[in-house]
Amino acid sequence: MIVQIYEIQTPQEAEKCIELGVDHLGSVVLSLDAWRRPVLRETVSLTEGTRHKSSMIPLFRDPDTVCRLLDYYRPDYIHFCDAMTDPKGKIEDLEKHVDFQIFLKEKFPEIGMIRTIPIPRKDEMPDFPFQEIADGFEAISQFFLTDTWIKDAPVEGFVGITGETVDEEMARELVRKSAIPVILAGGLSPQNVRDALMSVKAAGADSCTQTNRLDHSGSPIRFEKDFVKVGDFVKAVREVDALLLEEKTVRLASLKAQLLDREKALPAHSVQPHQLQVIEALEDQISVLEKEIAGLELTAVPPR
């Protein structure tokens, strides 16, 4: 399961995240006028040649500057987190964002793409068009990431850094229907990420605000990570890996027993097509589960 931590802006922070076992290190470029930062380039480069990946959010949309940015930093992923709706939740300019992503993919085919799918808070907007948004980007993205949509976003025109959680029912629906992996984000902390992942069954978890240091009033400080919280977040996600590994192992044993029973029940002659179809379906399910279990075995740690 992927652990992604955002607002990693210095090599020292990146090294600490790698040491703690973070998989995706996310950085943010705030300014259209000051996008070129050698220290950030060094930060991104630390994942080269490792199993860890870099992702980058530019908080601007100028095509020429975004192209120069990608050519300069060469991250593993570019991450788009546009709101794509008006304050009432109505989709705006979806085609424009799709076209921009296609344009960049053609110019930088080696760079993966993460697309944030905005999801409101629980019971806030039951008709929010998150699935329609996802449908527009699924074929041109490598990952989706949920994040919390609110009417008055902290960064106008973009989704994120609210510190508030998404509607888990909508997030589960996105995971269930998506053909690409979904990373769960939105107000996740070391305290709530375990239950959220067990509920949503996403492919990973992302944290920004809730793993930041706090000021004297208890408010998160942007771009200042609390690495005790980051370490606890990683550990909580790895515990979910262990729990899911146990669930999937039990499920695998059950499927193998069903397969054995089906094979024993086959007649010596005149095997019917539907009997073979059932066996093939079980074999496919077993193959998928075995691959999922192999992945979980690499990262799972025993629950506390």
Express each pLDDT in 205-258 by its tens digit: 999 999 999 999 999 999 999 999 999 999 999 999 999 888 889 989 999 999
Domain assignment present for 241: no
C-alpha–C-alpha distance, residues 207 and 211, integer Å? 6
Proportion of the chain above pLDDT 70, given as a percent: 98
Q: How many domains does the chain have?
A: 2
Question: Is 90 exceeded by the pLDDT of residue 59?
Answer: yes
Q: Would you state the structure tokens that stand for residue 13, as one six-digit string?
A: 């922070």
Domain assignment present for 86: yes
pLDDT given at position 303: 56
Query: 283 and 184 in one domain?
Result: no
pLDDT given at position 268: 78
74 pLDDT tier (thresholds 50, 70, 90): very high
Give yes or no for a contact between 276 and 217, defined as CB atoms under 8 angstroms apart: no
Q: In 141-178, which positions are buried (b, 16+ CB within 10 angstroms) versus exposed (e)?
A: bebbbbbbbbeebeeeebbbbbbbbbbbebbbbbbeeb
Query: 43 and 156 in one domain?
Result: yes
Question: Is 70 exceeded by the pLDDT of residue 304?
Answer: no
Query: 182 and 48 in one domain?
Result: yes
Q: Provide the CB-side half-sphere exposure for 25 (13 A, CA).
A: 32
C-alpha–C-alpha distance, residues 41 and 85, integer Å? 32
Domain assignment present for 237: no
Domain assignment present for 171: yes
Average pLDDT over residues 108-132: 96
Q: Helix or strand or coil: residue 139?
A: helix
Domain carrying residue 292:
246-297
Query: 262 and 218 in one domain?
Result: no
Considering the chain, what is the average pLDDT of its residues? Answer: 94
C-alpha–C-alpha distance, residues 124 and 243, integer Å? 31
Question: Is 80 exceeded by the pLDDT of residue 65?
Answer: yes
Q: Which amino acid is at 85?
A: T
Residue 301: which H helix or E strand, with range? none
